[in-house]
């Protein structure tokens, strides 16, 4: 990590000072023209050593090799490389460099990463199926190794507001507390309507409120009868 930052700082300083050199070389620049890469090669070995090189059509050529080293500060990377380009005045410019940096020196300065931000393993898909018909109907289903299962079927329907889709499906998974969660649903012109024992339900209406609502309804009915 530290090696990468050091190399970038060297390269950025070079680009900020001579970015026009890199983009133009000694040729007229065509507005909006993409600079083609004529040659590119890179390799990373299991022992951590690596090399890369590239060359562009406007005269930029660069190469670098690096390997892991044991330094007094801890594990680190040693790298050496070079780059060359042609200045606007037509002068060939060539730069060679050597970088030796400890990796752990930067890591020691960083705060610990919270668990929720650590990279988690991507669950494998054990089963997957999908099919779309010419009439717009479809169905799909899948299952992952961490216990997620989902399926859905749908078809096109013409509604007063225009063409739409009616879908029915379900999915299930295991909550972090180990509780199986199953949800089935319907989605149509009336919206998305899920059904599950895991969904919150409103508390029952108190008996006093029910009596009050019934009294109000009777009063409205009696008033309407008296007017007639």
CB atoms within 10 A of CB 3: 20
| 136 within 8 A of 129, measured Cβ to Cβ | no
Q: Which residues contact 150 (CB under 8 A, 6 or more apart)?
A: 141, 142, 143, 169, 170, 171, 172
State pLDDT tens for residues 199-227.
888 888 889 998 999 999 888 888 777 77
CB atoms within 10 A of CB 14: 17
Handedness of CA 29, 35, 36, 37 (dihedral sign): positive
State pLDDT tens for residues 104-158.
444 444 555 555 555 567 788 899 999 988 888 899 999 999 899 999 999 988 7
Please give the DSSP secondary-structure letter assigned to residue 118: S
């Amino acid at each position: 990590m530290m090696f990468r930052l050091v190399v970038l700082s060297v390269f950025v300083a070079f680009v900020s000072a001579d970015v026009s050199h890199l983009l133009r070389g000694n040729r007229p620049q065509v507005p909006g023209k993409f600079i083609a890469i004529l040659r590119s090669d890179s390799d990373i070995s299991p022992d951590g050593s690596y090399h890369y090189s590239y060359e562009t059509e406007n005269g930029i050529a660069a190469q670098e090799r690096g390997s892991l080293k044991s330094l007094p500060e801890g594990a680190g990377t040693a790298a050496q490389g070079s780059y060359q380009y042609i200045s606007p005045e037509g002068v060939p410019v060539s730069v060679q460099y050597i970088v030796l940096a400890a990796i752990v020196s930067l890591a020691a300065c960083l705060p610990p990463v919270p668990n929720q931000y650590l990279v988690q393993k991507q669950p494998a898909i054990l089963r997957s199926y999908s099919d779309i018909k010419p009439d717009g109907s479809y169905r799909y289903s899948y299952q992952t190794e961490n216990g997620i299962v989902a399926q859905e079927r749908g078809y096109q329907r013409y509604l007063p507001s225009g063409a739409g889709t009616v879908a029915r499906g379900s999915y299930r998974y295991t909550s972090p507390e180990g509780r199986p969660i199953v949800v089935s649903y319907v989605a149509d012109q009336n919206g998305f309507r899920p059904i599950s024992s895991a969904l919150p339900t409103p508390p029952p209406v108190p008996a006093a409120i029910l009596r009050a609502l019934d009294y109000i309804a009777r009063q409205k009915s009696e008033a309407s009868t008296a007017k007639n």
